[in-house]
Amino acid sequence: MDIEQISFQIISFAGDSFSTMLKALGKAKEKDFESAEKLMEEAKKSLDDAHNVHTEILVSEAQGNKQEYSVLLSHAQDTLMNTILAETLLSEIIELYKAKEDKE
């Protein structure tokens, strides 16, 4: 697989994950925590897929298969990092919504 295909896979999986997390946040706002949890699990699977593709290219380079610099891959890595950060933050926000609901 070439660097362009790898980049687009990472962007696609990470983008799907991020949009699913936003749906989960919306469900949490509506106090539908069961749906929010299911959506976060779905988002995690997409994020894992993105991470696995990224790991493949890292392993390949570690084995001596050097790639030329690619702005597209740089963008894909940035998208992946932001999605990983979003997972952490959105999970915490959803937990805050749950805690607030428990207090009411």
Q: Which residue has the tokens 């994950």?
A: 17
State whether the Cα torsion 86-91-93-97 is positive or negative. Answer: positive
Known catalytic residue at 51: no
78 annotated ligand-binding residue: yes
Annotated catalytic residue, options 29, 31, 45, 75? 75
Dist. CA 22–CA 52, nearest whole Å: 22
User: Angle between the 3-29 and 33-62 helix axes, to the nearest 10 degrees?
Assistant: 160
Task: Point out the residues that are catalytic.
Answer: 75
Annotated binding site for Mg(2+): 78
